Amino acid sequence: MGGYDLVDIEVTQKSAEALLESVSDTETDDTHLQSIQAVRLQAGQPDTEFRSLKELDEDSVKLLEHQVDAAYRALFEMDGKALLADEVGLGKTIEVGMILKEMHFRETDESVLILTPAQLAKQWQAELREKFGLEFICNYDDKFASFEAHDYIIASIDTAKSERHRQTVLTREWDVLVLDEAHYVKNEDTDRYDLIKQLSYNYAFFLTATPIQNELTDLYNVVSLLRPGLFGTRDVFHQYFVNSNQETLINRNELQDRLNKVMIRNRREDTDIDFTDRTIDTRTFNPTPKERKLYQAVSDYVKGAYSQDQGQKLVLMLLQKEVVSSPVALKKTIEKRLYDQSEVTHADELESILDLIDEIDTVTKQERLLDIVEEARDNVEMGRVIVFTQFRATQQQILDRLASEGYTVHAFHGGHSSSEKEQIVEDFEEEGGILVSTDAMSEGRNLQFCNILVNLDLPWNPMRVEQRIGRVHRIGQKRDVFVFNMALKDTVEEYVLERLYHKIDLFQQSVGELSSILSRLEESGTSFEDEIFERLVAADSEVDLENDFDAMAVDLQEQRELADKLEEFNSGVFEGFDLGESDD
């Protein structure tokens, strides 16, 4: 490769005096063979076996061959500095979990920093704890004090680069750095890039499904953070690998050879994973006149209150979500506002909403839920169904209702201890029946023994929806999965479902695919939930609202197409090198 000067090289032949001395030693004790073996063993890699694997609980994590291979190569063949770039959904987190577990076992992990996008931090924490028994503190935990105070930290990259923490993060010598969604640092002019560049660490594992976001320079930037100098200078890299019209690659084989030293990329088709089918059944129901009245009253209240005071956004958003979940959930929040927090500005309006709640005798969704579980009782092994709701009050009411109908029920929420949670899942597996869970059911739980899931209400964050589904529809699920979505007609839920989720084919996407769609969208700063809420309260008419949601769907679809294109481009570069005509 031209464009740079070769450094000096000196070859020294060391003396053989000691060796020749030993030749004259005629007294031999027949240990020459052992000397040869000892010299060969000294030169060998000190045991490159995964010694921690046998400690893993097989019920918590099923390791796949490609994951073990990737973790092995990253740790032993790439000297602990690797870019893990599997296609989406192949378990890059598992690979890192294995690596961290092994390092923990070998005691080479005194300080570990995992940087992730904000929305994935807690999920990382749960997965590492539940699958690998590794305890990390997350910057969103109450107990989190500072980047100095703990040794095993999971933090959002933006928190780490914030003015408050940056200096502490940079002062410390980290043993291990893990960077999730590494394509976030593709741009060398950003604070994120700068932070990673300045961090001190011994081992680093970067994860991304799309190492190239826009152009080959992205790859140069990410790889150069991990292995400075592997690609030489930016200019030389460009001259050597990209032809002048910037569209085709040249010297592809060498690019791949060099990437092989630092990057691991598994493709779905190369693995033996067999994903079962997923059937989505969205059921929308007409609310009763009383429910409709209540929905209207709450929506009007939310709109009015928000126009007066935007500081109340969170609680107003909560009310808007609760009204489609269950009247009882709504009631609890309103009562709290009225009586505990002495809300006075809208007391009358809230009191009248309470009256409307009290008038409701039939809760449509709960009645219809009985149809689904009844069907499951007749057709599915041990009638196992998981029902998800966002609210504890809704959960309790469903549990009572189902129990009164004679169903075996199990409750799962964030208030249980870890061991209680284990027990609940175990009971559900053994006794069957219905598990009613809040979103506290974390990613790490293994629920593949169940294949029917009901979304009694729908989170406005598509990642949440997919995470729910991902708990049953994952590697290891042997049957087709059925997902029932329940929504009331002409409510925000119907809009979210029909206009947004179905438009982007949400229910057929994997977490990884979604995250690449959403992370692009959220790079602008606003969250998906906020967008929905803003559109809801800002619309002046039904038509406006429909248009607003359609516009959002168009954005989403664009992001999806971009994400698809990107995936295609990446596979072109890394696997087939079939990106147009070769100039070689």
Partner 1 sequence: MTDASLPVTQSVVEQFTQLYLRSIGCAVERSDDRWVVSVPDDIDTEITSGRHTLIRGESAPDDEDNRTKRLHPESAFFQQLLREAGERSPSGKLSIEGESNIEIPEWVQNGPIEVQGAEFTPYYDRTAIVVLFRVGIETVSEYQQELLHAVAVDARSEESLPALTETFLDTTTEWTSSTPTSAVQLSKTDIQSLLGTARELVVDHVQGRIDEVHQEASRAADAEVEEYRQLQQQRIQELEDKSARLSSKINQLNETINTGDHNSRVQALRERKELKAEYEELEATLNELREHRDNGFPERQREIRERHSLDVQITPLTLTEVEYDRGEVDVELVDSNSHQTITLGYGSGIGVTDTIQCSSCGRKLTQDNTLQRIVDGLECVGCTKE
Q: Footprint of partner 1 on this chain (CB under 8 A)?
A: 1, 3-14, 16, 18-20, 22-49, 51, 79, 81, 224, 227-236
**Distance, CA of 358 to CA of 345 (rounded, Å):** 22
Q: Are 504 and 549 in contact (CB under 8 A)?
A: no
CB of 71 to partner 1, least distance (A): 17
Provide the angle, in degrees to the nearest 10, between the axes of the packed helices 528-538 and 289-308.
Answer: 100
Structure tokens at 575: 């696997």
Q: Which is nearer to partner 1, 164 or 234 (CB)?
A: 234
Provide the angle, in degrees to the nearest 10, between the axes of the packed helices 392-404 and 327-335.
Answer: 140
Phi and psi, residue 10, nearest 5°? -130, 130
Q: Which is nearer to partner 1, 40 or 478 (CB)?
A: 40
Q: Which is nearer to partner 1, 198 or 308 (CB)?
A: 198
CB of 14 to partner 1, least distance (A): 4
- Count CA atoms within 13 Å of residue 293 on its CB side: 12
Structure tokens at 222: 């990410």
> By three-state DSSP, how is residue 547 classified?
helix
> By three-state DSSP, how is residue 530 classified?
helix
Q: Which is nearer to partner 1, 50 or 136 (CB)?
A: 50
Q: Which is nearer to partner 1, 227 or 377 (CB)?
A: 227
Neighbours of 217 (CB within 10 A): 18
Q: CA of 348: how far to CAs of 54, 304, 334, in Å?
A: 63, 13, 12
| C-alpha dihedral, 399 to 322 to 514 to 123, nearest 10° | -60
Q: Which is nearer to partner 1, 39 or 538 (CB)?
A: 39
Question: Strands, E, within 286-416: which ranges?
Answer: 385-388, 409-412
Q: Which is nearer to partner 1, 201 or 428 (CB)?
A: 201
**Distance, CA of 155 to CA of 136 (rounded, Å):** 10
**Distance, CA of 384 to CA of 453 (rounded, Å):** 9
Question: Strands, E, within 401-512: which ranges?
Answer: 409-412, 434-437, 452-455, 481-488
- Count CA atoms within 13 Å of residue 356 on its CB side: 22
CB of 472 to partner 1, least distance (A): 38
CB of 109 to partner 1, least distance (A): 16
CB of 74 to partner 1, least distance (A): 15
The angle at the Cα of 412, spanning 407 to 413, to the nearest 5 degrees, equals: 140
CB of 75 to partner 1, least distance (A): 15
Q: What is the DSSP letter of 179?
A: E
> Which own/partner contact pairs does 534-541 have at CB distance under 8 Å and 24+ positions apart?
536/299, 536/302, 536/303, 536/320, 536/492, 536/495, 537/302, 537/303, 537/306, 537/307, 537/316
Q: Which is nearer to partner 1, 108 or 527 (CB)?
A: 108
Q: Which is nearer to partner 1, 229 or 311 (CB)?
A: 229
Q: Which is nearer to partner 1, 8 or 542 (CB)?
A: 8
Q: Which is nearer to partner 1, 48 or 279 (CB)?
A: 48
Q: Which is nearer to partner 1, 42 or 418 (CB)?
A: 42
**Distance, CA of 426 to CA of 423 (rounded, Å):** 5
CB of 492 to partner 1, least distance (A): 51
CB of 34 to partner 1, least distance (A): 5
CB of 554 to partner 1, least distance (A): 42
**Distance, CA of 30 to CA of 28 (rounded, Å):** 6
Q: What is the DSSP letter of 363?
A: -
> By three-state DSSP, how is residue 91 classified?
coil
Q: Which is nearer to partner 1, 42 or 541 (CB)?
A: 42
Q: Are 384 and 450 in contact (CB under 8 A)?
A: yes
**Distance, CA of 201 to CA of 110 (rounded, Å):** 11
Neighbours of 420 (CB within 10 A): 11
Please, which residues have CB within 8 angstroms of residue 118's CB and are 6 or more apart in sequence? 156, 158, 159
